[in-house]
Amino acid sequence: MYRNILIPISFDNDRDAAGAIDVARVLAEPGGTITLLHVIEDIPSFAMSSLSAGYLVDRRKEAQADLDRMAADLPNGASIVTSGHSGRTILDCAAERGADCIVIASHRPGLQDLLLGSTATHVVRHATCAVHVVR
């Protein structure tokens, strides 16, 4: 059982956030904390010029509202929205919060993952705490 679980949440359709949350509920000690984290990937400066002025602010507000709704159903639930490189930011957040477990959803791997890598693979390889991958 774990006292401080971090769940990176991707709003992509091929990720199973509900499954990761269900696993975290089972793994959490009574009184333990489950924190939901959404990382907004940095957008290259050349692409920013084609977006509306408030795009990032709106996206962050929407993500925070969604995470807050999800965290409200969790015992000792918390939510964080931040930006950066997904893999590194997840690991940094886990270290900062003293997470003893990361529960991360992953899609079925394909050829693109062999060539590019994936966030879940990065987290599994570099985490200093337990990692549970949900498919």
Residue ranges making up the domain that contains 102: 2-134
Q: What is the pLDDT of residue 14?
A: 62
Q: What is the pLDDT of residue 116?
A: 38
CATH number of the domain to which 119 belongs: 3.40.50.620
Q: What is the pLDDT of residue 54?
A: 87
- Dihedral of CA 129/90/124/16: which sign? positive
What are the Cα distances from residue 27, in Å, to 31, 122, 131?
12, 22, 11
Q: What is the pLDDT of residue 114?
A: 54
Which residues 6+ apart lie within 8 Å of 21 measured at CB? 7, 34, 36, 70, 74, 103
Q: What is the pLDDT of residue 117?
A: 47
Number of structural domains (the chain) is 1
pLDDT (tens place) for every residue of the chain, 135 residues total: 999 999 999 987 666 689 999 999 999 999 999 999 999 988 888 887 788 878 889 999 999 999 999 999 998 999 999 999 999 999 999 999 999 999 998 876 665 555 434 889 999 999 999 999 997
Q: What is the pLDDT of residue 45?
A: 80
Q: What is the pLDDT of residue 15?
A: 67
pTM here? 0.90
